[in-house]
């Protein structure tokens, strides 16, 4: 059908449809980890020394993107709370009020579904609503944004910036083995230190360090990249179990509407930042999009839209959200908790 990123969107939609219809779909963690390992390694190959210098020069734009994401997530959470206070607050006790605030706040934050659900659980939120909100947000962004980017490319005659293409372009042996061992070691270290997304982040950091140092051992074969996208698509699709349809329908409608508003607002923000930096607008739209790192970077890779810039924006945002979202919640909720 010539759809964008078919190896991820196809498995995602088919698996989600099967899960929602009651089929016993499953995703093996080992395969998902392997897919993230391959994608992380592939993205790291884009960080050549020239690209590294470009990303460093964009520090101020990345900072603006972080502030934008934190503010947008906070506003989204506040709107969810205003719309669904009666649903979230089933009693008059202080505990019920705290649960309602935590649920809406962590549902609105633009971060990874697993990480935000864990933080929400620690804050006493309804984790079923938080997990459902993030799953739906990610599904909408992953499905709609690639089609939007494809339309954008067709109608704006955008040219690929050759400086933003990967360093090594050809898969070769034994360089591919060396690359796999190095990136696998990076993933293993991140796993040992219990970091978020270790197989993706660890492999990507190891690949980035090699590419920045001028080591161009090998490219990652397209077949491996496609297989990685397939298992990542499946891992996203299995989240939508049959009970998902019955999880607070009004809440999910609000999440859907809010996500669409965030996508349009982030697209406008990306366009403004592209004007300020002189970069491709589509690249900055993906960089500021409220999606996940792997999914947005895969979209950028397949459509050749500045992978390193998109990755840098998304990675820095994820780190900032993981570090700041919980302290921000305590700070903003302190006045509400006081008598």
What CATH number has the domain bearing residue 137?
1.20.1530
Q: Considering the domain boundaries, does residue 233 fall inside one? A: yes
Omega cis (within 30) before 279: no
Q: What is the residue range of 116's domain?
A: 6-337
What total of structural domains would you count in the chain? 1
Q: Considering the domain boundaries, does residue 156 fall inside one? A: yes
Q: Considering the domain boundaries, does residue 182 fall inside one? A: yes
Higher pLDDT, 148 or 260: 260
Q: Name the residue with tokens 């796993």.
A: 191
Q: Considering the domain boundaries, does residue 1 fall inside one? A: no
Rounded Cα gap, residues 312 and 119, in angstroms = 24
Query: What are 40-56's pLDDT values in tens digits?
Result: 898 888 788 887 888 88
Residue environment code for 173-206, b if the CB has 16+ CB neighbours within 10 A, otherwise e: eebbeebbebbbebbeebeeeeeebbbbbbbbbb
The answer to whether 46 and 167 are in contact (CB under 8 A) is yes
Sorting pLDDT into bands at 50, 70 and 90, what band is 92?
very low
Other CB atoms within 10 A of residue 55 CB: 19
Query: What are 248-276's pLDDT values in tens digits?
Result: 788 889 999 999 999 999 999 999 998 88
Other CB atoms within 10 A of residue 17 CB: 13
The answer to whether 214 and 24 are in contact (CB under 8 A) is no
Q: Considering the domain boundaries, does residue 40 fall inside one? A: yes
**Which pLDDT belongs to residue 70?**
92
Task: Quote the pTM value.
Answer: 0.77
- pLDDT exceeds 50 at position 338: no
Is residue 159 exposed (0-12), middle (13-18) or buried (19+ Cβ within 10 Å)? exposed
Q: Considering the domain boundaries, does residue 43 fall inside one? A: yes
């Amino acid at each position: 059908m010539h759809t964008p990123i078919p190896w991820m969107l196809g498995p995602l939609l088919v698996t989600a449809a099967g899960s929602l219809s009651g089929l016993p779909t499953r995703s093996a963690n080992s395969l998902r980890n392997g897919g993230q390992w391959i994608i992380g390694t592939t993205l790291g190959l884009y960080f050549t020394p020239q690209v590294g210098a470009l990303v460093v020069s964009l520090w101020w734009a990345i900072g603006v993107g972080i502030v934008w994401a934190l503010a947008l997530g906070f506003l989204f959470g506040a709107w969810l709370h205003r719309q669904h206070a009666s649903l979230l607050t089933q009693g008059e006790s202080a505990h019920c009020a705290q649960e309602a605030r935590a649920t809406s706040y962590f549902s609105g934050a633009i971060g990874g579904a697993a990480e935000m659900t864990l933080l929400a659980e620690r804050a006493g939120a309804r984790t079923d609503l938080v997990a459902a909100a993030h799953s739906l947000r990610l599904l909408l962004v992953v499905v709609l944004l690639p089609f939007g980017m494809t339309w954008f490319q067709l109608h704006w005659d955008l040219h690929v910036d050759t400086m933003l293409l990967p360093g090594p372009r050809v898969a070769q042996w034994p360089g591919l083995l060396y690359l796999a061992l190095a990136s696998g070691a990076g993933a293993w270290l991140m796993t040992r230190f219990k970091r978020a997304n270790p197989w993706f982040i660890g492999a990507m950091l190891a690949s980035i360090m090699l590419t920045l140092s001028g080591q161009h051992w090998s490219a990652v074969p397209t077949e491996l990249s496609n297989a990685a996208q397939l298992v990542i698509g499946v891992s996203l699709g299995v989240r939508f179990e049959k009970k998902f349809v019955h999880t607070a329908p009004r809440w999910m409608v609000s999440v859907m509407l809010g996500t669409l508003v965030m996508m349009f607002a982030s697209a406008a923000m990306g366009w403004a930042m592209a004007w300020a930096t002189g970069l491709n607008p589509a690249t900055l739209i993906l960089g500021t999009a409220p999606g996940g790192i792997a999914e947005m970077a895969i979209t950028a890779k397949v459509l050749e839209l500045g992978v390193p810039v998109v990755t840098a924006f998304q990675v820095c945002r994820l780190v900032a959200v993981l570090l700041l979202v919980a302290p921000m919640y305590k700070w903003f909720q302190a006045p509400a908790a006081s008598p």
